[in-house]
Amino acid sequence: MKIDNFLINNGNTFIIAELSANHGKDINIAKKTIYAAKMSGANAIKLQTYTADTITLRCYNDFFKLNNGSIWDGTYLYDLYKEAYTPWEWHKELINYAKEIGIICFSSPFDISAVDFLDNLNVPAYKIASFEIFDLPLIEHVASKGKPVLISTGLASINDINDAVEACRKMNNDQIILLQCTSEYPAKIEEANLKTMQNMKETFQVEVGLSDHTLGIIAPVVATTLGAKVIEKHFILDKAIGGPDASFSLDPEEFKSMVDAVRDAEASLGKVDYSLSEKKIKSRKFSRSLFIVENIKSGEKFTKRNIRSIRPGHGLPPKYMNSIIGKTARFDIERGTPLQWDQIN
C-alpha cells in the first residue's frame, strides 16, 4: 500500500503531523506550520475538512453544549467548530505548497461533500476520525475513491471497527489502516492500551498505527516497537498561537524529538540475525574459557581446583569442564595457560 510516494510497511513508520485547528485562522501560519512539520521530520501533514455547518447544527440548547469533562466543556459545538475549522478555500493552496516542499498532504473529511471536495483536489489518502467511525455511508463513500483509508478507533467497540472495515471492503477497497486512539484531549498514558493495536492487526488483517493524544512522545515510540506503521500527532508551530488543540500538540522541537526517537526505535528492531559479525568474533576473545590456574605436572589429574572457567576466551569452552575433570595432563602445564585438547590424555 502506498500513500502518495510513501510505501507503507517498508520498514519506516509513516509519521503524520496533524494541523487540525493549529493555524490561528491565518493561512500564512498554516503554511509556516507545514514547512516546520517537514523540517521536523514528518512524512505528511494532515488537514481537517469541515465547516461548522457541515459537522453540526447552529443550535444553543443543552444537546449541543459540551459537558463531558473535556478541555472544551461549556462550549457549544457550533462555536468550537467555527473557531477550529480550516477554510476550504485554503485547501488547494496548502496542498500545492506541501507538494512544492516535498511533504505529503491529505485530510479528514467529515461529510460527503468534503469527500468530493478533496477528491477533486486529488488527495492521496483519507482519514476517518474516531467520532465518524459510526458513519458507514461516509466511510463507504471515502472507500469508493480507491485511496488508502486511515480509521481512528478511539470510540469504537470491536463490532464498530468490524463494521467500518467491512464498509471499506464492500467498496472493494482493502487499503485500510486502523489507528489505535484514545479520544481524550489530552489522553492519559495508562489508557493508551497499545496492545489493542496488535490485536486489531491480527483480527482484521490490516496495517495498524497510532493516533496519539497523550502528552509527550513515549506512546509513539512504544507503538513503533509493537508494529505501528503510522504515527499521527497534533503539531503546532508555537503554542502561543493558542486554539482548541494547542495544549496537547507538539511544537517543532518536541515533534523532532519524537521523530528521532521513533527512527531510533525502528533501527533498534533490526532483523532476526544470529550470525557473528567480525566485531562479535573479536569480542568473544574476552569471554570465559577454561584456564590452568595451578601448575600441573605431567600425568597429574585435572580437577576443579587446577582448572577454572575465567576470562579471557583463549581456552576451551566451559561446557567441556565436566568431561575433562579426572583426565590427566600429557605434559607439564604452567599456571595461566589456556587449556587445549592437545594437553589432555
d(CA 153, CA 193): 12
**What average pLDDT does the segment 26-35 reach?**
97
Residue 89 burial class via C-beta count within 10 angstroms: exposed 0-12, middle 13-18, buried 19 and up:
exposed
The torsion of the CA quartet 247, 248, 252, 253, rounded to 10 degrees, works out to 90
Q: Please name the residues in contact with 231: beta carbons below 8 A apart, sequence gap of 6 or more.
A: 13, 14, 15, 16, 209, 210, 212, 220, 223, 224, 258, 262
Q: Domains in the chain, please, with CATH?
A: 10-50+85-269 (3.20.20.70), 278-343 (3.90.1210.10)
Cell 507538539 maps to which residue? 250
Residue burial 178-197, b: 16+ Cβ < 10 Å; e: rest: bbbbbbbebbeeeebebebb
- Plot region of 40 (φ>0 → left; ψ -120 to 50 → alpha; else → beta): alpha
The per-residue pLDDT of the chain, averaged, comes to 95
Q: Which residues pair with 210 in a beta bridge?
A: 180, 231
Q: Is residue 171's pLDDT more than 90?
A: yes
Q: Please state whether beta strands 6-7 and 2-3 pair in parallel, antiparallel, or not at all (unpaired).
A: antiparallel
> Which pLDDT score is estimated for 37?
98
Half-sphere exposure of 106 (CA within 13 A, CB side): 26
Say yes or no to pLDDT of 222 above 80: yes
pLDDT mean over 189-197: 96
Predicted local confidence at residue 244, as pLDDT: 82
Neighbours of 264 (CB within 10 A): 11
Q: What is the mean pLDDT of residues 270-296?
A: 93
Angle between helix 195-204 and helix 158-170 axes, rounded to 10 deg? 40
pLDDT at site 68: 75
Per-residue confidence at 186, pLDDT binned at 50, 70, 90?
Answer: confident
Residues 114-119 have a mean pLDDT of 98
